[in-house]
Structure 1
Amino acid sequence: MKYNFDEVIDRQNTNAIKYEPSVLKEMFKSEDVLPLWVADMDFKCPDVVVNAILKRAEHGIFGYSDGDDSYYEVFMDWNKRRNQWEIQREWICYTPGIVPAVNYIVQAFCHTGDKVIIQNPVYYPFAQAILNNGAQVVTNPLKREGDQYVMDYEDFETKAKDPRVKLFILCSPHNPIGRVWRKEELERIGEICLANDVLVVSDEIHSDLIMNGYKHIPFASLSKAFAAHSITCMAPSKTFNIAGLQISNIVIPDAHIRMAYQTILENNAIRHPNTFGIVAQKSAYGEGEAWLGEVLEYIEANMDYIDDFVKTRLPEITFVKPEATYLAWLDMSRLGMNPEELETWMQTEVKLALDEGYIFGEGGEGYERINAACPRSILKEALERIEKAVKKRSL
């Protein structure tokens, strides 16, 4: 490998939320916890991105900026090459993050009391965005069948028929369970949405982080009808570990839907990307593919490490390797603790800062989400802490 992902980089004193002592103390009751919660990587981003930012910084003037043609073209080329999806320049709306985008989408397409479907357990800011903007959350829980999660189409269709349901937020790939939705699954859910005039909001921020043997399919790429009735949210942030630069690309093929979204952006004074975000997107999508290949190989090896460790040393815990993302979803329900007890145990006995499963909604109780985008030595330390604490409980 060209890149050394085993290197442990000290992120203290860099204002990193994941490591900020005051944040850890507030959220996890102690600064003395190993943080594997926030979904960013503990790896340096690609050299090409670092060098491009340094070169731009040397200019010394950081006035108002905007994306030029190449800013958009690298994103379009990336999707054409990797996803076989041809995006038109005018479809792309800059937004400083996908969580802000979801909030703006709810503002644009929901009135007070309207409803939005989500598939729990799912990324918790979805529910927050819905509720914070006066809409109601409608859950279509994913079903656990053996080692796999599947969609409940019958329940989804029943709920989509409610005329107050305006949006469906699709998490593709799914966070936290790590599913890559197949073509047939996307088509079936899409047809239900079309039949009931439910706008599909597809969060595809993890779409570049696909494990070997799987293939991401952008929802809007499946048909012109789906494209015209959807909003796709993408970003280089998870892919290249540049979330702090606040860049996302919201793809809206339909002109009327796009105009409604752009009106909300204007109302919220969202206009131009920041200077370094522009440079980062161009260099990452333009020259960062080799780095991505290597980091995916390392992350998949980390998932293999978790899988082997759990099977051989933590039989009380269940783990199914994800098809995508760098997030491991561990079932700890057989430890016999309720969500509050599990959280307290994880913080005070294990001394890990993780995302508790219950925050992802119904179906997440008893689970822990671990960020595996870290050096293997850190992952080993985390798993050994769990092993030690489990053994202590059994004494």
Structure 2
Amino acid sequence: MSYDFSESACRKDTNAEKYILREELFGTEDVQPVWVADMDINTPDFVIEAVKERLDHPIFGYEDVPKSAFQAQIEWMKREHNIEFSLEDMLYSHSVVASMSVAIDAFSEVGDKVIVQTPVYPPFFHSVIGHDRELLKNPLKQNSDGRYVFDIEDLKLKIDKKTKLLLLCSPHNPVGRVWKREELEEILSVCLEHNIVVFSDEIHSDLAYKPNVHIPFASLNDKARDITITAIGAGKTFNMAGFAMSSVVITNNNLRDKYLKVYKRVHFAQGSVLSHVAYESAYKNGKEWLEELKVHLQKNYNMLEAVCSRYPYMIKIVPIEGTYLAWLDCRGMNISNKDLRNFFIKEAKLGLNAGLSFGREGSGFMRLNFALSCAKMSQVIDKLEYALEKKGNRVD
């Protein structure tokens, strides 16, 4: 079967966050929103059909997450990511950020230190600070080729007996890295030495571009499984974040018991009836759709890369290995972060995430979501090219 990503449904009147918040965030509705990490690509038909079928039953009371939904995800993880989980390892969560908050509460005390590796998705550090933990920043290093790597020596120097938890973003948002086995093994070695639990946010795990391969942190070895809380889900993969369903996987009984004490106190319940069937259908039927989606996303990225390459003195695109989030290095423009944001809003008429929101290491950067239909991506390319050309310094 061939899937069509040329067009997508209009979202302006659907209460979509990226559209209804334009005025509040950008001061105008005259921007094309490319910030929130969902896709302007239609959710797959096999997900929608499963929901329609469930709607034929006229009662929507409380439900447990069906074992078949978790089992479909377990089989997907084994087939696609070479890791085996059991049903008893799986917990429902409505979001990865909520799961992260439970982990911070469960595995650290007020005043303890939690490691984050900036620049990173803002809830990583907001969640730490919000729980009255000390933020231990272990910034990523950027190589001469633009790629980011872990700074292991910095990590070793900063860890002390109060350091209890590391929040790992894998694949990484916003820098687009798909971490290699040897890189993850270095993190594992440090965490094992210092008895540090790892919360591994792997929500973008299905969105790795060849030849890159996502390696679940818990798959490194048995010791890794014993210290890892894995957060995974179908929201990013199949554009179904609005179903508010993901999974937390904990294979170590002691860690699971600690996690459950907080989890049960919060009362996560079991989610939406419609989410259950959508989730199961995505994992049972999504392989072919996902492969075609990644080809489409790679084409979008290549278009964006081509534009940036024509204006290298102003903007560079950080090489991407996974996710659909482009990390744009705009330091060549030599303007303030405020002026940079205004350039994209007023000149390009695009609503992006300001790099500074990912930590001070994001100063001079912007994040652009390129998970768009062909039609919408063409509009983004035209707007960006127009703004950059107007500013000058094109290289042919």
Q: Which residue of 1 aligns with 2:17?
A: 17
Normalised TM-score (structure 1): 0.96
Partner residue of 1:385? 383
The Cα shift of 1:178 comes to 0.5
Q: 216-225 vs 108-117, which deviates more?
A: 108-117
8 A Cα contact 1:355 1:368, kept in partner: yes
Counterpart residue type for residue 89 of structure 1: L
Runs of 4+ in 1 over 4 A off after TM superposition: none
Q: Is this contact kept in 1: 2:175–2:327, CA < 8 A?
A: yes
> Structure 1 stretches of 5 or more lacking a match?
none
Among candidates 313, 317, 320, match of residue 319 of structure 1:
317
For residues 169-188 of structure 1, what are the structure 2 equivalents within 5 Å? Answer: 169-188=167-186
* Mapped partners of 1:223, 1:331: distance in 2: 36
Instruction: Give the Cα–Cα distance (whole angstroms) in 2 for the partners of residues 362 and 168 of structure 1.
Output: 19
Q: Which residue number in structure 2 is paired with residue 156 of structure 1?
A: 155
Task: Specify which of 22, 27, 30 is matched with residue 28 of structure 2.
Answer: 30
CA RMSD between the two structures: 1.4
| Alpha-carbon separation, structure 1, partners of 2:365 and 2:110 | 33
Distance 1:96 1:343 in 2: 32
- Residue deviations 1:132-154 (CA, integer Å, cap 9, x gap): 11112111111111121111110
Q: Return the letter of the residue paired with 2:232.
A: M
Structure 1 position 313, deviation (Å): 5.2
Larger deviation, residues 293-302 vs 313-322: 313-322
Aligned mates of 2:157, 2:235 — CA distance in 1: 35
SS at match of 2:4: coil
CA contact under 8 A between 2:313 and 2:333: conserved in structure 1?
no
Q: Map 1:74-93 onto structure 2 (within 5 A).
A: 74-93=72-91
User: For the residues of structure 2 that align with 1:239 and 1:8, how far apart are their CA atoms?
Assistant: 16
The 8 Å contact of residues 121 and 142 in structure 1, kept in 2 or not, is answered as yes
CA distance in 2, matches of 1:291, 1:325: 16
Equivalent-residue separation in structure 1 for 2:379 and 2:47 (angstroms):
30
Secondary structure of 1:81 counterpart: helix
Q: Which residue is equivalent to 1:7?
A: 7
Could you list the per-position Cα deviations for residues 198-250 of structure 1 after superposition, in whole angstroms to 9, with x for gaps in the alignment? 11111000000010211111000111111101111101100111101111111
Segment of structure 1 superposing worse, 301-310 or 246-255: 301-310
Cα distance in 2 between the residues matched to 1:166 and 1:67: 31
AA aligned opposite 2:120: V
Query: Which stretch has the larger CA shift, 369-378 or 48-57?
Result: 369-378
Matched residues in 1 for 2:254 and 2:8: separation? Answer: 48
Deviation at 1:60, TM superposition (A): 2.0
Residue equivalent to 2:334:
336
Secondary structure of 2:91 counterpart? strand
Alignment-mate amino acid for residue 182 of structure 1: K
Secondary structure of the structure 2 residue equivalent to 1:64: coil
- Alignment check: 8 A CA contact 1:330 1:369 kept: yes
Q: Structure 1 CA distance, aligned partners of 2:257 and 2:285?
A: 32
- Whether the aligned pair in 2 keeps the contact of 1:314 and 1:387 (CA below 8 Å) is no
Corresponding residue of 2:203: 205
SS at match of 1:238: coil
For the residues of structure 1 that align with 2:283 and 2:179, how far apart are their CA atoms?
24
- State the number of aligned residues: 392
2:175–2:318 CA contact under 8 A, matched in 1: no
State the shift of 1:315 in Å. Answer: 5.0
Answer whether contact 1:177 1:329 (CA < 8 A) is retained. Answer: yes
Q: Percent identity?
A: 39
- Partner amino acid for 1:174? H
- Runs of at least 5 residues in structure 2 that lack an aligned partner in the other structure: none
Distance in structure 2 (CA, Å) of the matches to 1:76 and 1:382: 37
For 1:308, the aligned partner's letter is: A
Deviations 1:273-292 (A, max 9, x none): 21011101110001111111
Who is 1:190 aligned against? Answer: 188
* Aligned with residue 70 of structure 2, among 49, 69, 72: 72
Quick one: distance in 2 between partners of 1:2 and 1:45? 15
Q: Which residue of 2 aligns with 1:220?
A: 218
Q: What is the match of residue 252 of structure 1?
A: 250
SS at match of 2:363: coil
